[in-house]
Structure 1
Amino acid sequence: MTMTHIASLLLAPFRRLYGYYTTYHGHGRPLLKYIGIIGALTYLTFYLIRFTKPNPKPFDDIGLRLMVITLFTLLALRDHWPEKLRKYYLPYSYAALIVTMPFFNVYFSLERGGGVPSMSNCFIALSFLVMLTDWRNTIAMLVVGITAAASLFFSLHPGGRWPPDMLAQIPAYLIVLIGGGAFKLSEKQIDSEKSRLAAALAGSIAHEMRNPLSRISYALEKMQALLARPKVVPAGGRILETEQLDALARHLSDSEVAVRRGLQVISMTLDGVSNKPMDASSFRYLSAAEVVHKAIEEYGYDSDEDRDRVNVVVKDDFTFRGDETAYLFVLFNLVKNALFYSAAFPRTRITITVGGQQVRVHDTGPGIAPQVLKGLFEVFRSVGKAGGTGLGLAYCQRVMQAFGGSIQCTSALGEFTEFTMAFPPVSEQEREQHRLDTIAQARTALAGKRILIVEDDDLQRAMTRQKLGPIALTSELEEAPDGQSALRMLDERKFDIVLLDLRMPGLDGYAVAEKIRAGGANKDALIVAYSSEPAHLARYRATQSGMDHFVSKPCAQLPLLAALQHVTRRPFAAGATAAGRLAGRHILVADDSAFNRKAIAAHLRNAAAIVIEVEHGGAVLEQLHAQEGIHAVIVDLHMPGMDGLETARAIRSAREPWSGVPIVAMTARSDEPAVAAATAAGMNGFLVKPVDAMVLYDTLGRLMSGGSAVAQPAPVAQAAGTQGEQGLLNLQRLESYRRLGMLEELLNDYLPEMERLVVTLREAVEGADVQGSIAALHSLLGMSGEAGAQALYQHVRKLYVPLLEQGEWPTGHQWLPQLQALARRTEEALRAYCDQQTRSGTLS
């Protein structure tokens, strides 16, 4: 062990002790400055007062007192210290407090032989010292100061002794010390509670903002639908010009993007308040330069002058892995902070530099004081901005840490502030592996798909085909040179995906998409707009024409493959995203199983829908009577009391404004009689338990856009998706619950209820209660399917359907013990899965 290492070990406790002191006086707290002012004035005043009283031989401490007054004065002049010396202010203050408080007052008391004035001064000094630092450093300063004072006194006065009255006051001094420490602890607890309440308030605000933002998004969607009509006539009767329509469309599209990103960042804020880690499964490889340019274009500037203050310099682009929306909001926050001071500092300019695996945001604003920098990224720490929440920079740090990077700030008062975001490097090997993985995933996702490339430019068409070359072995690629040719080919054969250029002579891409959607064998084909038109206009018009996705030209190979792969996974075969379709919609979910309701509601809320949950048919009618604007009803067919079929008949026969609301049946049965009964009762759609989120979105999207849902769905195959625990669990479904933060509810709600239902089933069987057995199996079937317990679901379904349809008990005597054993194994597998997620830090 080297001497340096030994010295480091010996100094570690002192560094830790001093760290408590710097933390206490961090973030620009002015205590030391104010005590400097008070101390300098007080020590001078007390010296002068002494000579107003008769004292034949007062101890003249003028030399020491002038030194103490000087030390206090330097503390008071904190803001006037030279810049290069300010880093020494806190170490200086530590030494100054020892000299001015315990050392001077104890030494003065010893010189005077005790007495009431000396005791009073010691009490005052101790009280101030308790207020000025934490209890650890208070004790340390007292020990050092008293020891130094006693050493000096007894070296000058070998025969001296401690004044008795001073020793008698030791219990009182201890009470001051202990009482002050207890008060400080209580104050810390109050501050902690304030932070907790502030976090709760932030969470509450974010929750409350979701619904109005969702309503705004829904209103914007309706406005865009109106704009899609051939003419828009305002109140004055004048038809809007094409340029005005384009401008309005642009603003609406920008607003919709802002709302969508706002909803996402609210979710991120809620995760941050609850310390929920960011979901890295959604991270993808991003170009730093592209994201920075996008941030500068999308940021909401107050004026053109503010926009002109921002400049981007790309020295060399690099790739990082993260979430685009999260990082956009990091950049938004940093730009907003820099522009906040532009009115007071007109010379403010912002330069965002990309290069060297870093993004630096540099502004020439007022700068930040050094003592403030240390706590800059703490939650609820706002610097110099009235009304600031202090969440912004903490959010920035949280995002960068989730990306595996860091964010730091350097600043000089009156000169500049610079935030440096460092990203972990992505190696060539990792980039190549990412390319190969993307191609492999695209081949798998697009296997067997027939893709039609519609492009009038021969060179562009050839380049597009070349980019799609890696999937040509598993997919079928065909080409059309114009819109008319594309329609002829679509009339002749079935295509899965149409990659459609928008600007073509004769029949353009918008017209082609509208004709495809109008009918024919390919009306449900996935349509991807592929254009160099301005994104804000083209994306809006493409959506209104019935296209599913938009890709800007020029587009590199991997983003193009990712776009085609992405569109095959979209919730709707012919429409916008699930969030765009369901955002702000009021959907009523009725099921007697609380867990089933929670699962369906979680998927719907994830798409920004507003969900009302009830547990029986009567409550459905009550909700429809009580509130307007319910856009769809999802109802379980098998419920106690008024079941789903009776509920649907009651809605259709009510002759109320809501009698035509779309009704979706939800059941474990998908046979023809069940579908026919649901259709006869007036239901519009059919969901088979366990409900797949994509099917749920698709069904509701079709119905609420005026279409019709699939008449007869196939049963949901629990075996589809990744299996785990020897086929007991559907890991793909459990992963979706992990992303929704429902795994903990799965343990707390599902497992005890499953155990109860198995007991209920056993009691019903022992009592020969057929209806009780049907009810128990029904609930167990729904819960096992929703919870991803696929083996149990399949086993229960084999028992439930015959018992329900024929009223006959399963054959054999071992079916119930087999079900009980399978339920126990399922419970063990689910607990093991959740424990594994907890250990890996991903359980929410």
Structure 2
Amino acid sequence: MIKYLAKVYRHYEDYHAYGPNRLKVMGILGALGYSAFHFFRYTRPHDTLLVEDVPFRLFGVALFLLMGLRDFWPERLKPYYIRFSYLVLLYCLPFFNVLIGLQRGGGIASISNTFICLCFLVLLTDWRNTVLMVLVGTALASGVYVLTTTNPHIPRDLVAQLPAFAMVVIGGNMFKSSTDRIDAERKLRATQALAGSIAHEMRHPLAQLKHSLEGMQEVLPAPGASRQTARLDPQEVQQLYRHLARGEQAVQRGLQVISMTLDEVSARPLDATTFRYLSAAEVVQQAVEEYSYDSDEARDKVSVSVAEDFTFKGDETAYLFVLFNLIKNALYYLTPYPQTQVSITVADQQVKVRDNGPGIAPDVLKGLFEPFRSIGKSGGTGLGLAYCKRVMRAFGGDIECRSVPGQYTEFMMRFPAIGEKEREEHRLAAVAQARTLLAGKRILIVEDDPVQRMATRQKLGPLALTADLDEAEDGQVALDMLGRRTYHIVLMDLNMPGLDGYTVADKVRNEAGPNQDVRIIAYTSEPSHLARAKALKGGMDGFISKPCAQLPLLAALQQVVQQPRGAARTEPGRLAGRRILLADDSAFNRKAVAAYLRNAAADVIEVEHGQAVLDQLQANDGFDAVVVDLHMPGMDGLEAAHAIRHSGEPWAAVPVVALTAHSDEEAVAAARAAGMDAFLVKPVDSALLYETLVRLVAGTGKALPPPEPPAVAARPVVPEIPEEGLLNVQRLESYRRLGMLEELLTDYLPEMSRLVGALQDAAASQDRQRSLDALHSLLGMSGEAGAQALYQLVRRLYVPLLERDEWPDAPAWLEHLQAVAVRTDAALKAYCATETRSDGA
């Protein structure tokens, strides 16, 4: 019998294991109702029971209050809350109401109270416990009534209502069971759709990762090769780095898909405190380059037109997700509609994504942005567009869709305008902050292009570092200067004749000298997804892509100055002498994280669960940090962290870092409440792990955000460039403020013309290296000069030739590039002339 009752009780525990805490609400409602109903129901002067039932009623009110104030319970008592609530419901609902009904001899009030009691009981318990509570409560109430009454009798009106009472219990549970089945079916379908969507989205990154691994396998020598034959030539090393970059990008893309989906499912709000000022054109171009296309054909279908760039305030990663969603939707029907073209336009505080695919029916448009509304796409959840709407509204803007079936679909994203005054105030504040942080820092600019050196010097001009700002025109000169004088930062171009940036960085790091630990920032026009990994592996601390506006450049300088030396590098010694306690029930995850830590020279102790963490801390004092998985069998990470903080031992203040695959707001809040100092999401990024631990053991306790995701290059296409899309007016305005328009005319324009001519000669002879050199220089030059159409076109030509040895396949590509260069030259001269006259006036 006891086993049966325990089994029934477990159904009650399961019933209240998930969802909102209805018991707390019932506690508050019951305490108020019991107090009010006492006076509302019985107010006749001769009603002596008005006073006689007060002890029972006050006891019930007290029980209800305790149940409603669960949040104020001591932590050690909260595990007993469900058991306590069971007794409260048993006493306050069937027992109390039946007892009072019997004592009063029935009546309308007693009958109505019993009906109310049964309704609440049906809502708060499963059918088994409803029946059990009714039977037990009625039996106990009848026993108390018989023992405390001299002439007990059963009220006939209560007996007459027994069929109605039974109907409430049976019917209520039947309806509730039906509703539960409907909810369960709805949740099952949503879960299946969600799982299908994630699986569908993850196929592409995993396929790309598989392709990268296969590429690495082809390049690597056979396992049995001798040491001589196993050597890799420089070209094979570059191929390995390319495959590595693509594999890393595939992993990043997969993590983005999961993060976006989970954020939308949990309706996780965007943190407006992290918003920053962004260029719409730059973010759009980044999205088009980073998107994981199914094929080269799909990549060729997407074009960008910047009629007028603008600035908006938001979160870059979130907006990239929005653009990824819209690009994915536009390309979804590419197979049945091979003529589909996707154009992205930036102008008038709007970004428009338009495709000429099948279109959307008017009745579907109405609920397009509602969650779990999919437009007939297999494996879709409809969460993507709901996420887009939420992000745009968080930015203060909105998104809407227009479509004509059989003709086009266009998504329009509107952004709130940011006035010139606000932009200028932001720029001045950022410059002032950089001037304060970089005061007294000596900076060396290593760049073989004199025009680029001049532009960089002008951008750093507001820092007032004239005496501490040096230039080197090539790698050898840079090494000589680094051997004579101590510098704080080196801004290093990677692609230079003679000694390139990688070679210079390697010599600086591995040869004893005054600048062995200088912060080195890679500053290059090379595609970031190819060059970033090589730069960091080569001992550099940061990476900036050219062209780079003034504020991002200043931000990069500040970041490397603030971070510990070598924070972006993974060489041994980062955590030398530090003892780290690592807990994870997964042997694979534990092995991977331990390898990262040991690579940084840390002494790592591995355990499998939370109790082992406490045992190790108790037995071996002196750990510098604890890295613990949140979800482990037995004592999990949260319980272990709570036990550490409340242990009263000397190690109670040891830094604790959480590892988890779940980054939702509740998980972060729970980790923070348990006393954890930092929160890392699996799979763990090694650089972020190092940065977090270095900061924690140094006492700052602040973790840095993860690095920017790498970019993906686009195939060469030759879009038509409208006149209004030739120039990046915002960049030119910044040059005007810096007084660089004259240099733009005298230095940039002739050099761009020369580079176009050099490219023509190299392409005519199919000289790949000379063509790459010309394209590389032209890429950096056009970007810096604000020639955005020329920059985009050159990038589409340069990346495939660099990555895959693919010459442009578009007809008359060189003639088109020359035409765009001529139009750009005229547009720049016209702009400079206009601005010079206005400044003179």
Q: TM-score range by the shorter chain?
A: 0.3 to 0.5
TM-score (norm 2): 0.47
Flag the structure with more relative contact order, 1 or 2, with Cα contacts below 8 A and sequence separation at least 6.
Answer: 2
TM-score (norm 1): 0.46
